[in-house]
Chain A
Amino acid sequence: MSKIPSDLLYTEEHEYVKRTDDDAIVQIGITDFAQGELGDVVYVDLPKVGASLGRMDAFGTIEAVKAVSELYCPLAGTVTEVNAALEKDPALVNRDPYGAGWMIKLRVKNPADFDTLLGSEEYKQHIGE
């Protein structure tokens, strides 16, 4: 069973959205389930700060030893920060996907986008756990 914190929102593509102290800014990464499926992450390609993304635009790629996957941005917005620590230690995504393994912070453009996301129960059903 993978961890699916109840206070986060999710996409069907296995990204999560975590609210931050700043109401307009969210933290985005991939779920515990996703990192488990991918296996040992070896590289994460992230956008530049300031990049403007539409909802479900690909914002990067994540590479494991045997698989590679696109990363999709759950909400439209502008990238305010990227997790530079992943460059040196991509395995953070495996060890702590919801914490130190986060990927980008995003200034949300359209709060209505939140309605398109899945709650933890819905995500749990989606992955069949």
Chain B
Amino acid sequence: MPTARASLFPADRFVTRHIGPSPDETQAMLATLGYDALDRFIDDVVPPDIRLGRPLALPPGRSEREVLQALRGLAAQNQLFRSYIGMGYYHSFTPQVIQRNIVENPGWYTAYTPYQPEIAQGRLEALLNFQTVVADLTALPIANASLLDEATAAAEAMHLTEAVARPPAGAAPLFMIAEGCHPQTIAVVRTRAEARGVQTVVADPASFEFRPGVIGALVQYPTTDGRIEDYQEVCRKAHAVGALVTAATDLLALTLLKPPGEWGADIAVGNSQRFGVPMGYGGPHAAFFATREEHKRHVPGRIIGVSRDAAGRPALRMALQTREQHIRREKATSNICTAQVLLAVMASMYAVYHGPEGLRRIAQRVHTLTVLLASALTRLGYRVVHSHFFDTLCIEVESWTLPRLVDAARARRMNLRTISPTRIGISLDEGTTLGDLADLVAAFSLNEVLPFMVEDLGAKADTAIPEALRRASRYLTHPVFHRYRSETEMLRYIKRLEARDLSLTTSMIPLGSCTMKLNATTEMVPLSWREFNRLHPFAPREQATGYRTLFRQLEDMLAEITGFPRVSLQPNAGSQGEFTGLLVIRAYHRSRGDGHRTTCLIPTSAHGTNPASAVMAGLRVVPVHTDAGGNIDLEDLRAKATQHQDTLAALMVTYPSTAGVFEASIRQICEIVHAHGGQVYMDGANMNAQVGLCRPADVGADVCHLNLHKTFCIPHGGGGPGMGPICVAAHLAPFLPDHPVVPLRQEQPCGTVAAAPWGSAWILPISWAYIALMGREGLVEATKVAILNANYLARRLAPHYGVLYTGPHGLVAHECIIDTRPFKQSAGIEVEDIAKRIIDYGFHPPTVSFPVPGTLMVEPTESESKEELDRFCDALIAIREEIREIEQGTQARGNNLLTNAPHTLADVIADAWDRPYSRERAAFPAPWTRAHKVWPAVGRVDGASGDRNLVCVCPPMAAYALAAD
């Protein structure tokens, strides 16, 4: 019975909303496993010597109303000034139909990376549109499905250059960075080049001498201070010595400017943020990457390609996956795993909504306003430095005038850019009005009476784009950019695509190591507040007090959860966290005169991103074997650590292990590495099994990254965004990354790893809210239930499938591996067939063939109820019986429910049906599928045909017409 006092606490607790199983269900699951109490069960799973042994030092959980109130308070401390800072970030209006139906819609934001194309055709189509926008506007035919930010996209271009350029033997490779690039881009490219042993030089491209050994050049178009430069001659000189030219550019400008592909650039990169995505104090945004046909096998990240399904219908899928780190490991050109799918979808929809004429109108308007402003400032006696510009002016002033001008603007709640002590930058955007122009001119008049009206300058406005660089070629001619102009049509297009995809709004997505838990609405709501989404990342510090407080508090929370004293929120993804952590380790070794420590031990079971990150950080990978139990082979580790003790830099280890087990020897593993002079990097992919039970620092690690999009509830966005902050021990703290524009005051920074100082700041309130809502008890409760759910699932499936790898008491951690390999022999069934058949049951398949080829890895998370787990188990058990029918000969090998899966609606209602099983079994294999399920939009997608003939832009409409037949 509640006491009178307890009844006065908030009536609703968030913890019970986040955690799926009810107390009764929890008890029932424990009983299945032979336990009567959750804590006793956990004691048998987590080795006692690594247990935290006390509650986390965090406040108790708060109600949703209280947390929203607290976030309102933080938001109110952010001040919204009009931003004229530019530098790759501009105000842009998100069409409200996109805001409400994509950004605020879990149907879009809770989907996973489109590994299963049959239930992802919606976002794959949106991404194909994105690639088409990029390919058309840059005039380079091969575009990818987005990268993390403009600066890292430029660094990826440098890596591609490094992979394909053939400098003469003996010549140290040199990469030229034009001085007109954004400072954050220069810093990131230099950090990445330095790690790989590529020399860089910052120079004026026009006078730079392209000599043999120069592998490539990066130019900005238009430059960071607004100048439109003609780089044709630069390209000619670069190509003469075999160097590639990368253009960092701006999609809106390219609607008016001659595109890079037409003046000789080999690669184009940039930020698509100003296509309807808010600045969000730095991100997330979708960066783009496009190149020529001959480099398609070196393109970083994901490429969506057109292929066919089993019935010959056009179908989309992620193409050329063998380029990627999870296959190529240390031989990969890039470590990038993810894209910024949600943001790329937004940008592509912005282009669909406005179409080429609309985009051109927006660009033309921004340009005309800029021309007007130039003319007004000239009349006031200021020198506009560049005569050719798109949306950015560089104004030369006396050094004593500059602060007065910046202050005058700030008094009018406007932020200008200080380019140098005598130069001011002003970037206009979609949000700029004539009234804003008048305010700007007023600030520059320093309160003198204006001798003219701003509006009157209009008559003289012409263009400041040189004739030779005006765009003549057409773009976005595909019908998709012309059909959805009315809001009714646009809404239906968005909804049509959404309906093709499976997200958490229909069923669990039990992907191993991906932690597809609840993304609570309360956690997402603050993203829609302008105080969080409108800030420019380089706005003055004092205007972002709310954000700064939130960062500090979030850092403290993550520090307590990991046991490390210091945190960097800069890395934008798990892969970037790995790279950053390794850079920090290298910087630490160097600071001690141990620059020769470059050997990185990595278990063979590790995710492919680990070795790819190590190579990017300039380390040499030495694999360590895993034993039959999926654990690190201690003998081999000891042998390798001894063999390489003079050069040992680090061990990368995932905990709980990639096999989903709490390795009892983790402390010993860390001790062995330390004893031989190495540092321990802990991959935080499986942190959801640790929170509140044990901590990476206590276990013996020196640095770890956290996937905030896994453990801390940032939604997967259909394949991005993510966030991968790193947490470090005190001795590594001086080496955390810094930022060239917004100094973070690190002592001996390892460099800069992302374009924005705090990565994707806009989505950090999600993780803050999650931790605040759950509190110390809720967080550890979630961890326990996540482990319970995985074990319950494993136990229910054990009579039907082999479950690989368990710890001491036959228990797994927060995920389990289901062995489907025997069916290849017994029934001619591959793991893929089972995965596709799961789709017929209305579920998203688990992770396929990782970490063990031919198996399924399932991570249910704490958010799924027992009822949902049972439904999923029922599906897998039923599929096992379907396999048995093949084994017993009642179903044909090679032509059965599994090999023909998934079954589309078109398949099962076709007049002709010649399969050796009923339509009903094909489409409605379980009772719940009659009530509701997501139908696969296409049948099994043929990977080979799409890879042999890569098409990565929208195909002609004839192809779609065929699909409708």
Q: Which residues of A contact B (CB under 8 A)?
A: 39-43, 45, 63-68, 90-91
Contact between A67 and B322, CB atoms less than 8 A apart: yes
Contacts of B943 in A (CB 8 A): 40, 65-66
Name the residue of chain B whose CB is nearest to the CB of A62: B322
Is B944's CB within 8 Å of the partner chain A? Answer: yes
Q: Give CA–CA (A1, B948) in the complex, Å.
A: 27
In the A-B complex, list the 6 residue pairs whose CB atoms are closest, starting with the nearest: A40-B944, A65-B943, A42-B947, A68-B322, A63-B322, A42-B948
Count how many pairs of residues, one from A and one from B, have CB atoms less than 8 Å apart in the complex: 35
B387, CB-defined interface residue at 8 Å: no
Beta-carbon contact of A43 and B297 below 8 Å: yes
A43/B947 in contact, CB under 8 A? yes
Pick the residue among A64, A90, A91 that contacts B322 (CB under 8 A): A64
**Contacts A40-B943, A91-B948; is A66 near B297 (CB within 8 Å)?**
no
Most buried by B among A41, A64, A67, A68: A68
Per the bound structure, the CA–CA distance linking A65 and B849 in Å amounts to: 14
Question: Complex Cα distance A43/B945, Å?
Answer: 11
Select the residue from B328, B849, B948 with max chain A CB neighbours within 10 A: B948
DSSP majority for the B interface?
Answer: helix
Any A CB within 8 A of the CB of B327: yes
Please measure, in the bound complex, the distance between the C-alpha atom of A65 and the C-alpha atom of B830, giving whole angstroms: 15
29 contacts between A and B (CB under 8 A): A39-B944, A40-B943, A40-B944, A40-B947, A42-B322, A42-B947, A42-B948, A43-B297, A43-B947, A43-B948, A63-B322, A63-B947, A64-B322, A64-B944, A65-B321, A65-B322, A65-B943, A65-B944, A65-B947, A66-B322, A66-B849, A66-B943, A67-B322, A67-B327, A68-B327, A68-B328, A90-B948, A91-B944, A91-B948
Q: Which residue of B lies closest to A41 (CB)?
A: B944
* A64 / chain B contacts, CB cutoff of 8 Å: 322, 944
Task: Assess the A42–B327 pair: CB atoms within 8 A.
Answer: no
Report Cα–Cα, A129/B328, bound state, in Å. 28
Chain B residues, Cβ within 8 Å of A45: 297
Least Cβ distance of A33 to chain B in Å? 15
Q: In the complex, what residues of B have CB within 8 A of residue A90's CB?
A: 948
Classify chain B's interface size. 10 to 19
- Residue numbers in B under 8 Å from A42 (CB-CB): 322, 944, 947-948
Q: Which residue of B lies closest to A88 (CB)?
A: B948
**Residues on A with beta carbons closer than 8 Å to the beta carbon of B328:** 68
> Within the assembled complex, what's the spacing in Å between the Cα atoms of A64 and B322?
8
In the bound complex, what is the Cα–Cα distance between A43 and B849 (angstroms)? 22
Closest Cβ of chain B to A64, distance in Å, is: 7
Residues of A within 8 A of B948 (CB): 42-43, 90-91
Q: Mark B256-270, 1 if CB is under 8 A from A, else 0.
A: 000000000000000
* Binary per-residue interface labels of chain B (927-964) against chain A in the complex, 1 for a CB within 8 Å, 0 otherwise: 00000000000000001100110000000000000000
Q: Which residue of A lies closest to B328 (CB)?
A: A68
Contact of B944 with A66 in the complex, beta carbons under 8 Å: no
Interface centre among A41, A42, A43, A64 (most CB of B within 10 A): A42
In the assembled complex, the CB of A95 is this many whole angstroms from the nearest CB of chain B, namely 12
The answer for the CA separation of A36 and B178 in the assembled complex, in Å, is: 49
Interface centre among A63, A65, A91 (most CB of B within 10 A): A65
The distance from the CB of B586 to the nearest CB of chain A, in whole angstroms, is 28
When chains A and B are docked, how far (Å) is the Cα of A59 from the Cα of B752? 37
> Besides the contacts A66-B322, A66-B327, A66-B943, what 17 more A-B pairs have beta carbons closer than 8 Å?
A39-B944, A40-B943, A40-B944, A40-B947, A42-B322, A42-B947, A42-B948, A43-B947, A63-B947, A64-B322, A65-B943, A65-B944, A66-B849, A68-B322, A68-B327, A68-B328, A91-B944
- Cα A45 to Cα B943 in complex, Å, equals 19
| Minimum Cβ distance to chain B for residue A78 (Å) | 19
Which residues of A have CB within 8 Å of B944?
A: 39-42, 64-65, 91
Please name all residues of chain A whose beta carbon is closer than 8 Å to the beta carbon of B849 when the two chains form the complex: 66
Point out which of A43, A45, A91 has the most chain B C-beta atoms below 10 A from its C-beta.
A43
Q: Which B residues are CB-close (under 8 A) to A40?
A: 943-944, 947
- Candidate in B321, B943, B947 with the most chain A CB atoms within 10 angstroms: B947
Residue of A39, A63, A91 contacting most chain B CB atoms (<10 Å): A63
B297 to A, closest residue via Cβ: A43
- CB-CB under 8 A from A67, the residues of chain B are 322, 327
Docked CA distance A43–B943 (Å): 13
B324 nearest in chain A by CB position: A68
Q: How far is the CB of B323 from chain A (nearest CB, A)?
A: 8
Query: B327 contacts which chain A residues (CB < 8 A)?
Result: 66-68
On chain B, the residues within 8 Å of A65 by CB distance are: 321-322, 943-944, 947
Report the separation of the CA atoms of residues A67 and B328 in the bound assembly, to the nearest whole angstrom. Answer: 8
User: For the complex, what is the distance from the CA of A79 to the CA of B620, rounded to whole Å?
Assistant: 31
Question: Complex Cα distance A67/B321, Å?
Answer: 9
> When each residue 305-349 of chain B gets 1 if its CB lies under 8 Å from chain A and 0 otherwise, what string results?
000000000000000011000011000000000000000000000
Nearest residue in B to A90 (C-beta to C-beta)? B948
Within the assembled complex, what's the spacing in Å between the Cα atoms of A45 and B948? Answer: 13
User: How far, in angstroms, from A66 to B831 measured CA to CA in the complex?
Assistant: 13
